[in-house]
Structure 1
Amino acid sequence: MAARRAVGAARRKGDVAAEAAARAVVDRAKRQLGERGLPWWTDGAPDYNRHLARNTPYAAWYQGLASTLPTGEIGQPAS
């Protein structure tokens, strides 16, 4: 976020060089976070989007998560 604020500050000042430098920092951060660059979703792994967690290989994890939360928080009936 500091780099994004630096972009704004440079734009307000009209400092083209500082804006370019700040944008480079933002780009580097986004690439490290996986927001830019090679797409991670084409890695060949199965897509379980639009599936209930209980119908996926994550069922045991989901059930364990459900047991650690108060009732009603992740699809369990509230009392």
Structure 2
Amino acid sequence: MTPRQQPEHTPDGHFVVIDGRRWRATDPDIPEDVADRLTKHLMAARRAVGSAKRAGDGAAEAAARARVHTAKTGLGERGTPWWEQSDAERRSRWENSLDELDAD
């Protein structure tokens, strides 16, 4: 996949296929500005995981991994599948995740 190329989606749109492996797709109903903020939190948390690992700081690594999980949950990539949630549950999921990440 090239940097600007969109990954292949399964016919139902629930998963993306990257290097032959299925991954849960981001909830397509998340407003673009919210998805951008969640993605920025995700990328920062992933960088923090790497920094903590290089420093040998287990507590910082665990905290960063928890932030990764929160961001991915907010994006709909973890937890209850977004296609099984009501519109209100989906909105609550991304709003709660963003609130938690913004508070850090």
TM-score by length of 2: 0.39
Q: How does 1:1-79 map to 2 (within 5 A)?
A: 1-42=43-84
> Counterpart amino acid of 2:47?
R
> Which structure has the highest helix share of the two?
2
**How well do the aligned residues superpose, as a CA RMSD in angstroms?**
1.2
Q: Could you list the per-position Cα deviations for residues 2-31 of structure 1 after superposition, in whole angstroms to 9, with x for gaps in the alignment? A: 100000000001000000000000100000
List structure 1 runs of 4+ shifted beyond 3 angstroms.
Answer: none
The structure with the larger Rg is 1
Gaps of at least 5 residues in structure 1 are 44-79
> Which structure has the highest strand share of the two?
2
**Greater RCO (Cα-Cα under 8 Å, separation 6 or more):** 2
TM-score by length of 1: 0.51
Counterpart CA distance in 1 for 2:56 and 2:81 is: 34
Counterpart CA distance in 2 for 1:42 and 1:22 is: 28
Gaps of at least 5 residues in structure 2 are 1-42, 86-104
- Give the length in aligned residue pairs: 43
> What is the percent sequence identity of the aligned residues?
72
Q: Could you list the per-position Cα deviations for residues 14-55 of structure 1 after superposition, in whole angstroms to 9, with x for gaps in the alignment? A: 000000000000100000000001113446xxxxxxxxxxxx
